[in-house]
């Protein structure tokens, strides 16, 4: 059984201007442990798909199973619980709480999972250690670089041990070196068994994935497996270029 | 999310915008402070009125002679000598609900002791008077029956007179002179304080009724055994209105008034007057409550306004919380708790300010104040309720946000 099973998945918006078919009867399976890039230009339906597989939105047609749970039959509370337990989100703009330190930010999903304060703090520190920020737990977002802020966001995504980490243009707000840092972190996490889905329009991001699914006009245009480029290699090249 | 976490997050949000939060609370602070101060002053005044009512004596009515027509001209109370001490005795004898009926005459005269003199009220009374007015004579004694019957020249002094004429000396068995008559002081009455009308009730000398008639008041009173007024004390307040009608019927019969003739006396229910004063104080309290309601309403609208702003400002935060697993009701609770905390802090600050104002007024103006713990609790509680009520709409708006839309918002 695949982690993600989408069958004939459709999302149609009824706007004043008329019906817009954002996603047109998609069939898509994603296996646990994979690292998948969802690609496509804006308007291709990739964001709509991300909202659907992230349980933020409900399809207008077809069915979607996440880890064996039929998502389209859940109400708002059920969706919230599913997001909380099974999905870790990483956003382009990090979306950290500006007045809270790194550990408190990383704890946020656990606030809604019923952990006590001590357990929360312990697990958030573990998650921060996983992303290499163990010594920055008390820093506020303002005191951290963009890459570090995104690491805090990734720690937040990992803190509930999700089945799936869903990243929406995670390197879009970062320079190329920091972007490679973050991609290396994703690859590292993936090798440890975390399923990673990255939504992006950038080929230089997508080439780090094991599988690339390209969208256009609400449909899957291509679905290919590839040998991923190691982000660490890219980093070494970058350093060598800087040295010469 | 547990309550404590929501509370901590609320306090963080409130302190992050300290100035804005204070300005928002201002409506509630001022409203609550005004209520606390006004209620304290109002209760103080009410307590004073109650003291004065109690100092008058409970369940009291006063019968005054007068209200007679002489050749078409109606004369005021005390203008005729229609009331006698026989009337008083008859009332006490024949009307069951009466505890005491005290006839008395009052005049103003100069009292002299050695080099000192003092103009004071002279009241010619019998011992029923002390019972009716619930007035003790802790120093010395009351009049004995012989003194009353024979009209002996003895006197009981009010506190003010005793202090003025004797200072700190013991007035007992001393001789004072009133209208050239030497009175022996046999007692000093307890302090009564001010009357409801602002008179010093202790500025008085009591003499036996008979003595007053013969030695002080002049011949009219001596000739016809009349008195100016009779204090009537009822056993309980409930039967007073009926009792007064019985007295009226009895007196009309005793005075042989025909059916068409008007009363030659008047009866006032003093307890009723006192109750009217209390009712006035209650009306004042009601008005205060109305003012409080308006100010809390205004404060509540301020809170609603700022919470709506806050929801708009923090749309992305709400979207994030929803995305990582907050249920709509978690978001609702968070904003509701924030609004309630804001309002409760405002209420608490208002109480502090109100108490400060109360103390300042008590010190500077010397008004009597009375802070009741209930009013403080109610003020804080109502502020909290205002927060819940006016916080609900913004909180529901936050809870109903679509996470996708909210995350996209700048």
Partner-chain residue, chosen from A84, A91, A109, that has the shortest CB–CB distance to B407: A91
pLDDT exceeds cutoff 60 at B70? no
pLDDT at residue number A124: 93
For the residues B57-72, what does the mean pLDDT come to?
72
Burial of A72 per CB tally in 10 Å (0-12, 13-18, 19+): middle
pLDDT, tens digit, 9 for 90 and up, residues B255-269: 888 888 888 888 888
Please choose, from the candidates B5, B306, B171, B65, the residue with its C-alpha nearest in 3D space to the C-alpha of residue A104.
B5
pLDDT of residue B260: 83
**How far lies B157's CA from each of B141, B191, B201, B231, in Å?**
11, 10, 11, 20
- Looking at chain A, list the stretches that DSSP marks H as alpha helix, in order from N- to C-terminal side: 46-53, 76-86, 102-111, 117-130, 146-158, 176-191, 203-206, 231-243
pLDDT in tens, A216-239: 999 999 999 999 999 988 888 888
Name the most confidently modeled range: B73-82, B195-204, B315-324. Answer: B315-324
The sign of the torsion formed by the CA atoms of A59, A65, A67, A71 equals: positive
Chain A residues inside the 8 Å CB shell of B16: 99
pLDDT, one tens digit per residue, over B4-46 is: 888 888 888 888 888 999 999 998 898 888 888 888 888 887 7
Q: How far is residue A204's CA from residue A234's CA, in Å, rounded to a whole number?
A: 10
Q: How far is B387 from chain A (nearest CA, A)?
A: 24
For chain A, how long is the longest CA-to-CA vector? Answer: 58
pLDDT of residue B222: 61
Give chain B's mean pLDDT.
Answer: 85
Residue position matching structure tokens 């009822």: B234
CB of B1 less than 8 A from some CB of A: yes
Cβ–Cβ contact B5 with A under 8 A: yes
Residue A33, pLDDT above cutoff 90: yes
Q: Mean pLDDT throughout B173-189?
A: 91
- DSSP-assigned beta bridge partners for residue B188: B139, B157
A chain contacts of residue B328, beta-carbon cutoff 8 Å: 76-77, 80
Q: Which of B4, B10, B318, B320 to mutate to test the interface with A (most CBs of A within 10 A)?
A: B320
pLDDT score of B221: 65
Q: Closest Cα to residue A5, out of A61, A64, A51, A62?
A: A64
A77 by DSSP, 3-state: which? helix
Confidence of residue B75 (pLDDT cuts 50, 70, 90): low
Pairing of strands A35-39, A211-216: parallel
Least confident of A178-192, B81-95, B114-128, B389-403: B81-95
Look at the block and give the residue holding tokens 């973050």: A182
pLDDT value of residue B77: 52
Residue B69 has a CB neighbour count (10 Å cut-off) of 12
Tens-digit pLDDT profile for residues B286-323: 887 788 788 888 889 999 999 999 999 999 999 999 99
Percent of chain A with pLDDT over 90: 72
Please state, in angstroms and rounded to a whole number, the distance separating the CA atoms of residues B226 and B262. Answer: 19
Q: What is the pLDDT of residue A96?
A: 92
Give the pLDDT of residue B223.
Answer: 64
- B327/A83 Cβ within 8 A: no
Reduced to 3 states (helix: H, G, I; strand: E, B; else coil), residue B232 is strand
List Cβ neighbours of A221 (8 Å cut-off, separation of 6 or more).
A40, A214, A215
Using the beta-carbon criterion (under 8 Å), do B326 and A112 form an inter-chain contact? yes
List pLDDT tens digits, range A85-125.
999 999 998 999 988 899 999 999 999 988 888 999 999 99
Question: Hey, what's the torsion of the CAs at B75, B80, B82, B85, to 10 degrees?
Answer: 130
Cα angle A43, A47, A51 (rounded to 5 degrees) comes to 145
Residue B213 contacts A, CB cutoff 8 Å: no
- Angle CA(A184)–CA(A187)–CA(A192) in degrees, nearest 5? 130
Of A1-10, A87-96, B54-63, B343-352, minimum mean pLDDT range = B54-63
What pLDDT shows up at residue A15? 86
Q: Which residues pair with B206 in a beta bridge?
A: B123, B156
Q: Is residue B122 within 8 Å of residue B207, measured between CB atoms?
A: yes
Q: What is the least distance, in Å, from the CA of B336 to any CA of chain A?
A: 17
pLDDT attached to residue B35: 84
Name the band, by pLDDT with cuts 50, 70 and 90, for residue B328: very high
Q: Does A80 touch chain B (CB under 8 A)?
A: yes
Q: Which of B5, B325, B407 sits opposite A80 (nearest CB)?
A: B325
Task: List the Cα angle B14/B19/B25 in 5-degree steps.
Answer: 70
How would residue B277 be classed by pLDDT, with cut points 50, 70 and 90? confident
Distance CA B266, CA B288 (A): 37
For residue range B186-197, what is the model confidence (pLDDT) as tens digits?
Answer: 999 998 887 766
> Exposure string (b/e) for B18-33, b if CB count within 10 Å is 16 or more?
eeebeebbbbbbbbbb
Pick the closest to residue A237 from A186, A167, A174, A184 (CA basis): A184
pLDDT value at position B301?
A: 92
Q: How far is CA B247 from CA A79, B87, B166, in A?
A: 83, 10, 42
Nearest Cα of chain A lies from the Cα of B376 at a distance, in angstroms, of 34
Q: Please state at what angle helix A176-191 crosses helix A146-158, rounded to 10 degrees.
A: 20
Backbone angles phi, psi at A170, to 5 degrees: -65, -20
Question: What was the pLDDT predicted at B285?
Answer: 73
Res A157: pLDDT? 94
- Of the given ranges (B3-12, B153-162, B221-230, B235-244), which has the lowest mean pLDDT? B221-230
**Which residues of B235-385 form beta strands (DSSP E)?**
265-269
Is residue B223 within 8 A of residue B205, CB to CB? The reply is: no
Closest Cα in chain A, distance from residue B325 (Å): 4
Closest C-alpha to A127, from A148, A150, A157, A100: A157
Q: What is the pLDDT of residue B372?
A: 82
Q: Phi and psi (nearest 5°) for A186?
A: -60, -45
Split at pLDDT 50, 70, 90, the class of B185 is very high
């Amino acid at each position: 059984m695949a982690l993600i099973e989408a069958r004939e998945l459709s999302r149609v918006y009824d706007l004043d201007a008329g019906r817009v078919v954002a996603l047109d009867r998609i069939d898509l399976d994603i296996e646990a442990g994979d690292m998948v890039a969802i690609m496509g230009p804006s308007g291709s339906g990739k964001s709509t798909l991300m909202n659907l597989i992230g349980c933020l939105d409900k399809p207008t047609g077809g069915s979607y199973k996440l880890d064996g749970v039929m998502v389209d039959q859940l109400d708002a509370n059920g969706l919230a619980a599913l997001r909380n337990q099974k999905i870790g989100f990483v956003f382009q703009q990090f979306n950290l709480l500006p007045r809270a330190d790194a550990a408190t930010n990383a704890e946020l999903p656990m606030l809604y999972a019923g952990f006590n304060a001590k357990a929360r703090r312990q697990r958030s520190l573990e998650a921060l250690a996983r992303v290499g920020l163990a010594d920055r737990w008390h820093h506020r977002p303002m005191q951290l670089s963009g890459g570090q802020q995104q690491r805090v966001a990734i720690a937040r995504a990992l803190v509930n041990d999700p089945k799936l980490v869903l990243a929406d243009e995670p390197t879009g707000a970062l320079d190329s070196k920091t972007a490679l840092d973050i991609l290396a972190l994703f690859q590292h996490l993936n090798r440890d068994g975390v399923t990673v889905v990255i939504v992006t329009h950038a080929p230089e991001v997508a080439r780090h994935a094991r599988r690339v699914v390209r969208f256009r006009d609400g449909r899957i245009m291509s679905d290919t497996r590839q040998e991923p480029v190691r982000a660490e290699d890219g980093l070494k090249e970058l350093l060598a270029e800087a040295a010469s | 999310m547990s309550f404590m976490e929501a509370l901590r997050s609320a306090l963080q949000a409130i302190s992050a915008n300290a100035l804005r939060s204070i300005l928002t609370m201002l409506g509630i602070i001022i409203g609550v402070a005004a209520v606390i101060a006004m209620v304290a002053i109002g209760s103080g005044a009410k307590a004073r009125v109650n003291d004065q009512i109690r100092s008058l004596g409970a369940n009291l009515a006063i019968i005054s002679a007068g209200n007679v027509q002489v050749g078409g001209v109606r004369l005021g109370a005390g203008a005729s000598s229609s009331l006698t001490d026989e009337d008083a005795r008859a009332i006490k004898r024949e009307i069951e609900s009466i505890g005491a009926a005290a006839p008395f005459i009052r005049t103003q005269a100069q009292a002299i002791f050695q080099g000192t003199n003092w103009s004071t009220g002279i009241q010619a009374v019998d011992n029923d008077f002390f019972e009716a007015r619930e007035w003790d004579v802790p120093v010395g004694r009351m009049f004995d029956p012989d003194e009353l019957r024979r009209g002996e020249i003895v006197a009981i002094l009010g506190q003010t007179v005793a202090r003025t004429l004797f200072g700190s000396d013991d007035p007992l068995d001393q001789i004072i002179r009133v209208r050239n008559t030497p009175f022996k002081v046999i007692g000093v009455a307890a302090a009564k304080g001010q009357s409801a009308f602002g008179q010093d009730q202790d500025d008085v000398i009591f003499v036996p009724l008979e003595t007053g008639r013969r030695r002080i008041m002049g011949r009219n009173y001596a000739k016809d055994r009349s008195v100016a007024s009779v204090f009537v004390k009822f056993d309980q307040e409930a039967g007073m209105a009926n009792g007064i009608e019985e007295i009226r019927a009895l007196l009309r019969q005793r005075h042989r008034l025909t059916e068409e003739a008007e009363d030659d006396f008047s009866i006032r229910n003093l307890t009723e007057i006192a109750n009217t004063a209390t009712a006035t104080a209650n009306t004042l309290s009601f008005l205060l409550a109305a003012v409080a309601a308006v100010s809390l309403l205004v404060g509540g609208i301020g809170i609603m306004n700022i919470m709506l702003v806050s929801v708009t400002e923090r749309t992305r935060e709400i979207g994030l919380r929803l995305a990582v697993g907050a249920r709509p009701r978690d978001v609702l609770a968070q904003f509701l708790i924030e609004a309630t905390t804001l309002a409760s802090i405002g209420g608490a600050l208002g109480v502090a300010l109100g108490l400060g104002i109360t103390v300042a007024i008590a010190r500077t103006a010397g008004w009597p104040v009375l802070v009741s713990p209930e009013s403080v609790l109610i003020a804080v509680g109502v502020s909290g309720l205002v927060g819940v009520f006016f916080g609900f709409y913004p909180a529901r708006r936050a809870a109903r946000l679509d996470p996708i839309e909210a995350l996209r918002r700048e």
